[in-house]
Amino acid sequence: MSEQTAIATAPEEPQNHEAIPHGTICWAELASKDVEAAKTFYTELLGWKLTGSQAAGMNYTEIVVGDKHIGGMYQITEECGGGDMPSHWVSYVAVDDVDTSAKRTEELGGKVCVPPMDIPNVGRFCVINDPTGATISLVKLSGA
């Protein structure tokens, strides 16, 4: 995953500013080769409401269930990951401190793929691999 991809794909700040407990999966995100087809598929299959957002500095669609913003989706472009990246989902886990969690990842045998960085209007995040190679993102949302 490139650093540029990471910048483009951070989760949006939740609508309520409640603290999200450390270790809670708090956001799911789809990077899609055909985001319009994905929007149609998931709204018809799951009844999701979709809203547009520019908070992460790109065209981004938030997924809303009831009154909760639970995830988002975006179109894979050359600027956002490159043409060879397959469509995929990424989960974000809330942490109390992204930098400390990134350091702990390496101490535990994992790898930091995208180093901790700030996302304007969103918070701070990084992308890691666990020791088996599985990828997940860690995030501390601003205001949470």
Helical H segments across the chain, by residue range = 3-8, 35-46, 98-107
**Residue 98 contacts residue 116 (beta carbons within 8 Å):** yes
**Which domains are present in the chain?**
3-141 (3.10.180.10)
The structure tokens listed for 132 are 């088996």
Higher pLDDT, 83 or 98: 98
pLDDT for 16: 46
Could you tell me the pTM of the whole model?
Answer: 0.82
- What is the pLDDT, as a whole number, of residue 107? 98
* pLDDT tens-digit series, residues 5-40: 333 344 444 444 468 999 999 999 999 999 999 999
pLDDT of 90-135, one tens digit each? 999 999 999 999 999 999 999 999 999 998 888 999 999 999 999 9
Whether the predicted pLDDT of 4 surpasses 80: no
Q: Which residue has the higher pLDDT, 35 or 4?
A: 35
